[in-house]
Amino acid sequence: MDYIKIRFSDDFSHLSSKFEKTIDDMFRSMSPGFALGERTWRPPMDITETPEEIIIVAEIAGVDKDDLDVEISSKAVKIQGNRLARHCSADATYRLAEIQYGNFERIIFLPAPIDPEVVSAAYTNGFLEIRLAKLPRDITHKIPISDE
């Protein structure tokens, strides 16, 4: 069985500027060769929640499993990786360029507390699936009361 790297962290402070990303996406849609800086893209994701777990599915076809990193904190999951560009011949002209290449990073803030010890990740047919076990919310603890 192959494993996907999962790191645990509390530091997601280096989030990129939404404004820069919006401008970059706008110009890149007009010309695939344009980018303000390092090319980034946002893979589509689905998040579902059951009473027992949170399931995150990311569509990242064309990304090698070795180019994926998953970090988990008590509040969020960060998925990052890189999809290498396919090279066309030198005499080819783009007529349509919709497939995005380069680095990507998504940070998903979790809707419920999770147990970081019960996490699994699988990458099959271009889909990364991460399963996070939720912590029970209705656990109560009886507190003894002292005489003093």
Burial class (CB in 10 A: 0-12, 13-18, 19+), 108: middle
Confidence of residue 7 (pLDDT cuts 50, 70, 90): low
Q: Which fold has domain 6-11+43-85+100-134?
A: Immunoglobulin-like (2.60.40)
Predicted TM-score of the model (pTM): 0.67
The structure tokens listed for 130 are: 């991460």
Q: Tell whether the model's pLDDT for residue 29 goes beyond 90.
A: no
Cα torsion angle, 51, 137, 119, 104, sign? positive
pLDDT in tens, 85-116: 888 888 888 888 888 899 999 999 999 989 88
For 28, the 3-state DSSP assignment is helix
Residues 46, 53 contacting (CB under 8 angstroms): no
